[in-house]
Amino acid sequence: MISAVKDKKGGETHKSTSAFKTLLINILECEGDFTKMNPKFQRPIKCAVKETGPNFLLHDGTYYIGAYFTPEAYANYYKTNDKSLSRLNDFMLKLNKWTLEIAQVDG
């Protein structure tokens, strides 16, 4: 989804897209094969924390996506941070290493 913000004179000044939607569309176009993805979509992801419980939800300003930390990521986080993960609501995160799980279902 692309939304345009208009200035006071009615002209477009800014276009924004959902990073999560763009990423998902690219993954689906590559049939889930990350090796076929454009390298620009394999970079770290910057997003905000919507909530930490009962589920950990991240957002890009348009969509929410559920997330979880592997034990290794959890341990790595606490090597450099003293703030509990449960206190990260409204914080920006940079996810350097990530995967996306999708499943095809019979409809």
20 lies in which domain range? 1-42
Asked whether the predicted pLDDT for residue 1 surpasses 60, the reply is: no
% of the chain exceeding 90 in pLDDT: 17
Only one residue has tokens 């959902």, namely: 18
Query: What's the pLDDT score for residue 18?
Result: 86
- State the pLDDT confidence band at 49, using cuts at 50, 70 and 90: very high
Same domain as 19, residue 56: no
Query: Computed over its alpha carbons, how large is the radius of gyration of the chain?
Result: 17
pLDDT digits (tens, 9 = 90+) for 7-23: 445 444 445 578 888 88
Same domain as 53, residue 37: no
> Domain for residue 103, yes or no?
no
- pLDDT, average across residues 75-85: 87
Instruction: Tell me if residue 19 falls in helix, strand or coil.
Output: helix
What's the angle, vertex CA 73, arms to CA 65 and CA 22, rounded to 5? 30
Mean pLDDT of the chain: 80
Same domain as 12, residue 51: no
Only one residue has tokens 């929410």, namely: 64
- 3-state SS of 23-41? HHHHHHHCCCCHHHCCHHH
pTM score, two decimals?
Answer: 0.69
Main-chain phi, psi angles of 104, to 5 degrees: -90, 135
How many domains does the structure of the chain reveal?
Answer: 2
